[in-house]
Amino acid sequence: MKNVHTPVLLNEVLRALNPQPGHTYVDGTFGAGGYTKAILKHAPCTVYGIDRDPAATKRGKALEEVEKRFTIVEGNFGDLDRLLADEDVTAVDGIVFDLGVSLSSARRSRARVFIPKRRTP
């Protein structure tokens, strides 16, 4: 899967979540799957990825094909309970959300988004 986004605060997210073997996690904003892939690599756990953007869930489908511990779900994380219940999931061990805007989404968006040309101090 081509990397279309560099995940932010990944080490901090992993430290806070501390994925454990056999546990179940939700990545509520799957995006390009950066968080999901890191969680799956960290421990032999299960991850459900949610995203409302069909471009993101298409990437999720590709990951699902090669990673049996991962399931992608298209929908709004506001409907988390229902989306997980549809997958027969009634309890999870941790949930992550990355509420930033990815560069690829910003470029595809019709909305006006300001992207800094360079890093500032």
- Interacting residue with ligand SAM among 45, 47, 60, 98 (CB under 6 A): 98
- Which residues contact residue 32 at a Cβ distance below 8 angstroms, ignoring those fewer than 6 apart? 1, 3, 4, 5, 7, 56, 59, 102, 104
Length of the chain: 121
Residue 94 in contact with ligand SAM, rule: CB under 6 A: no
The nearest distance, CB 27 to ligand SAM, in angstroms, is 7
- Per the structure block, which two tokens stand in for 24? 């179940």
Extract the tokens encoding 59: 């990437």
Among all chains, which residue has been given the structure tokens 């073997």?
A: 21
Q: In this chain, which of 32, 39, 72, 84 binds ligand SAM, going by CB under 6 A?
A: 32
**Candidates 15-23, 40-48, 82-90, 101-109 — which segment interacts with ligand SAM by CB under 6 A?**
101-109
Contacts with ligand SAM, residue ranges (CB under 6 A): 5, 7, 29, 31-35, 50-53, 56, 76-78, 98, 100-102, 105
